[in-house]
Amino acid sequence: MARPFKKGLDYFPFNVYFLENRKIQRLRKIYGNVGLVVYLAILFKYREEIRKYKEL
């Protein structure tokens, strides 16, 4: 029995060296882990909006 067809992706590519980026290090130094979580939430929301736009 085959898997049901899904629209879109359940994941997106993520750089494993993300935390070594100078901009991310500066963000964590200034805002701590909360800043990092907010930044990631913005990236996830952006990806979701791009996916919705492409489906139109």
10 Å Cβ neighbour count for 33?
8
Inter-residue contact 24 to 36 (CB < 8 Å): yes
Q: How far apart are CA 48 and CA 4, in angstroms?
A: 21
Q: Average pLDDT by consecutive 10-residue portion of the chain (56 residues)?
A: 70 83 95 95 85 68
Q: Which residue has the tokens 């929301």?
A: 45
Structure confidence at residue 15 (pLDDT): 85
Structure confidence at residue 32 (pLDDT): 96
Structure confidence at residue 22 (pLDDT): 96
Q: How far apart are CA 9 and CA 34, in angstroms?
A: 26
